[in-house]
Structure 1
Amino acid sequence: MFRRGRQVLLAIALVLFAAAAVFTYGWYGPGPLQKEHSFLVPSGSSLRSVAHDLEREKTIGSAEGFLLRARIFGGNDPIKAGEFMLPAAASSSQILAILQGGDVIRRFVTIPEGMPSVMVQERLMAEPLLTGDVPVPEEGSLLPESYAFERGEARAAVLKRMQVAMDRTLAELWAKRGPDLAVKTPQEAIILASIVEKETGKPSERRMVAGLYSNRVKQGMLLQADPTIIYPITKGKPLGRRIRQSEIQAVNGYNTYTMTGLPKGPITNPGRQSIAAVLNPAKTSVLYMVADGTGGHVFSDTLEQHNANVEKWFALRRARGEM
């Protein structure tokens, strides 16, 4: 009788041990994920709601089993909001550790220097992981840069970061501005910087181009910047053809071929370096520039020199079969 009692107790112990092993294996053993999977924890989520989301996305087998094991094995650290990458076959233990202390996936939207606001709005609207609508922002109000965002974040929030970055950058650079500038306000600095941004693709030329246009502003000369002709037509997008004579002669608030001084507003979103160039332009007497065929420009002080440089440029284009 005593022996039979011992056998029963041993059997019970074995059953309990097996059950404990299965229970523990359900926490530390591999999970059902077939491949790497991104998982989003919305802000304010509870562990219970997250567990049910994990079950629905077939990341774990059972939400209730996950919650029970988490209470026993998981510790007291809270889960974080954000998007996380879960590896294939991740155990429940791994998943909870990632949600409690793993790195949030950072995604980026990049605004290149000189991208006009209409195209920034299009880029934001084309990003499928952002939510909500945004209007075309004010031209020149955004700082071109790469901005991190999280899946499901509002486009308006990302746009706001771009605007705050421009405000901070402009305030910083304005405080370091040089003396005797052609621009008298931060807004004028943005306007002129937008022209500099569009007129040269060479970073090394920015301060010289800024010096040239600053000289023209101070002397009351026409700026004659081709991008200011294009802006009212396309809102900053590429024209895709040559400028027509009628467009060169158009009178509006932007065309610097028919008005002296600065346009009524920026023609794109200038980058930090173009703003810095306008606020500390090269000390130069140049008033003219023409393309040199390499992506840069040839600068000159006088119209006579400029005309000679233009002839060289035309000759180069003819040799290339462009004229």
Structure 2
Amino acid sequence: MWRNIASNALSFLVVLVFLFGGALIWAQSEYDTAGPLDQPICLQVERGSNFRRVSDELVSQNAVSSGMLFRLGADYADKTSELKAGSFLVPEGASMSEIVEIVTRGGASTCGTEVVYRVGITNASVQVRELDPTTGRFEEIADFDPGADEAPAEYTAVRERADTRYRVALAEGVTSWQVIEELKQVDALEGDLEEIPAEGTLAPDSYEIQPGDTIASLVERMQRAQDLILTQAWQDRAPGLPLESPEEALILASIVEKETGIPSEREQVASVFINRLNEGMRLQTDPTVIYGITNGEGVLGRGLRQSELRAATPYNTYVIPGLPPTPIANPGRASIEAALNPDDAEYLFFVARTLDPSDGHVFAETLDEHNANVAAYRRLEAERANQ
């Protein structure tokens, strides 16, 4: 009898083992297979939340088939303690394992509401926008000038939310004075700077920030980024350039940045200035003269006077030979690379193609060609004046 009992117990145990193994295989398959979500969602994980709350939210949005299995899988993967707060884009059909990875890997939030503080050449703005997970596009909620406008209610509301993301975006060609003046208007940043950073040393880019970050810490990030860009570009520079140091390359890059906003023209514009330096010709560029007048503090807002073009100042490249003493703006990566790898062309001159700056420039190798191009431009000016 005992032998029969033992045999039946062993058989039952074997069945249990097989059932348990089958359950594990099924659970693993469910955990890794595509989920029921039929369109992307933005999952918000509040600070201090836990996997039970997250799983309940996912079940309510039909993103997972089982909250318990989602939690067990996260626990088995030893991810339970790694839950991050933020707003996360969960794609259509995401598996439980993929969602666990999304909410535990850290880094910046991938959706939700963000505030972008834009520092532009002629103005600054604050933009509040929200990602529509179904289209993958940001929808603007509010846009205002922090120096002139009262902050709208939409901005105040998102500033009070813990999951709001913040970025500072620097346009290519802004001056260091402009950057610092506008950063003072960013209420998500704290502190101040005693001195304006050296011109050209701040990398135009988009920087993720957190409320309470200091202006000084953000500026250090910008300086480190620009130093890395310049160092790499200098190492990869074309041979035989009339530039003796990375600092001179930065000066030339800033001139290229201010002379054209057309990405495809940067190497051509750089070739003109490189050729002029090689020929011992003056650079004769208006942006350097303007910087000598404004010191980078705002926009001149008028045309240059003949007296200013004749004045012997360190930045008047119509008078001085070679490069000015410092950069005249903060150039972006593309202009730095263009200055150090210009087109292999023999251009010595360029002038605006039309009265629309977006149409770019026309280039010339000889003075006669350039004079003809200038004459064509003057005719366009005359036609506009007679309209």
Q: Which structure has the highest helix share of the two?
A: 1
Q: Given the alignment of the two structures, is residue 308 of structure 1 paired with residue 367 of structure 2, yes or no?
A: no
Partner residue of 1:276 out of 337, 340, 362: 337
Partner residue of 1:173 out of 219, 233, 236: 233
Counterparts in 2 of 1:297 and 1:78: CA distance versus 1, 3 Å: closer
Any conservation in 2 of the 1:114–1:198 contact (CA below 8 Å)?
Answer: yes
Q: Match for residue 203 of structure 1?
A: 263
Q: Given the alignment of the two structures, is residue 253 of structure 1 paired with residue 317 of structure 2, yes or no?
A: no
Partner residue of 2:249 out of 170, 184, 189: 189
Any conservation in 2 of the 1:40–1:151 contact (CA below 8 Å)?
Answer: no
**C-alpha distance in 2, partners of 1:79/1:235?**
49
Q: Match for residue 144 of structure 1?
A: 204
Q: What's the secondary structure of 2:315's corresponding residue?
A: coil
Q: Which structure has the highest strand share of the two?
A: 2
Higher relative contact order (CA closer than 8 Å, sequence separation 6+): 1
**C-alpha distance in 2, partners of 1:249/1:170?**
33
Which one-letter code corresponds to 2:168 in the other structure? V
Q: Match for residue 158 of structure 1?
A: 218
Show CA shifts across 1:198-244 (max 9, x none): 00111100000000000001111010000011002112332101101
State how 1:209-220 maps to structure 2 within 5 Å. 209-220=269-280
Partner residue of 1:109 out of 168, 171, 177: 168
**C-alpha distance in 1, partners of 2:303/2:290?**
10
Percent identity over the alignment?
46
Any conservation in 2 of the 1:105–1:150 contact (CA below 8 Å)?
Answer: no
Report the alpha carbon displacement of residue 106 of structure 1 after superposing the two structures with TM. 3.3
Q: Given the alignment of the two structures, is residue 262 of structure 1 paired with residue 323 of structure 2, yes or no?
A: yes
Report the alpha carbon displacement of residue 40 of structure 1 after superposing the two structures with TM. 8.7
Counterparts in 2 of 1:170 and 1:317: CA distance versus 1, 3 Å: same
Q: Match for residue 130 of structure 1?
A: 189
5+ residue gaps, structure 1, are 1-36, 42-75, 86-97
Q: What's the secondary structure of 1:170's corresponding residue?
A: helix
Show CA shifts across 1:35-64 (max 9, x none): xx99999xxxxxxxxxxxxxxxxxxxxxxx
TM-score relative to the length of structure 1: 0.69
Which one-letter code corresponds to 1:217 in the other structure? L
5+ residue gaps, structure 2, are 1-43, 49-79, 88-102, 110-162
**C-alpha distance in 1, partners of 2:83/2:349?**
61
**C-alpha distance in 2, partners of 1:215/1:222?**
10
More deviation, 132-141/313-322: 313-322
Counterparts in 2 of 1:40 and 1:221: CA distance versus 1, 3 Å: farther
**C-alpha distance in 2, partners of 1:77/1:284?**
60
**C-alpha distance in 1, partners of 2:291/2:306?**
15
Report the alpha carbon displacement of residue 78 of structure 1 after superposing the two structures with TM. 8.5
Q: Given the alignment of the two structures, is residue 228 of structure 1 paired with residue 288 of structure 2, yes or no?
A: yes
Counterparts in 2 of 1:270 and 1:322: CA distance versus 1, 3 Å: farther
Which one-letter code corresponds to 1:149 in the other structure? I
Which one-letter code corresponds to 1:154 in the other structure? T
**C-alpha distance in 2, partners of 1:166/1:188?**
14
Report the alpha carbon displacement of residue 77 of structure 1 after superposing the two structures with TM. 4.3
Show CA shifts across 1:255-290 (max 9, x none): 101111000010000010000001110011110111
What is the root-mean-square deviation of aligned Cα atoms in Å? 2.9
Any conservation in 2 of the 1:193–1:270 contact (CA below 8 Å)?
Answer: yes
**C-alpha distance in 1, partners of 2:345/2:83?**
59
**C-alpha distance in 2, partners of 1:198/1:307?**
23
Any conservation in 2 of the 1:183–1:189 contact (CA below 8 Å)?
Answer: yes
Which one-letter code corresponds to 1:110 in the other structure? A
Q: Match for residue 92 of structure 1?
A: none
Which one-letter code corresponds to 2:239 in the other structure? P
TM-score relative to the length of structure 2: 0.58
**C-alpha distance in 1, partners of 2:45/2:174?**
31
Aligned pair count reads: 243
Counterparts in 2 of 1:38 and 1:151: CA distance versus 1, 3 Å: farther
**C-alpha distance in 1, partners of 2:208/2:277?**
38
Which one-letter code corresponds to 2:368 in the other structure? E
Q: Given the alignment of the two structures, is residue 121 of structure 1 paired with residue 180 of structure 2, yes or no?
A: yes
Q: What's the secondary structure of 2:184's corresponding residue?
A: helix
**C-alpha distance in 1, partners of 2:386/2:46?**
54
Higher radius of gyration, 1 or 2 = 1
**C-alpha distance in 2, partners of 1:146/1:163?**
13
More deviation, 189-198/133-142: 133-142
Report the alpha carbon displacement of residue 79 of structure 1 after superposing the two structures with TM. 9.1
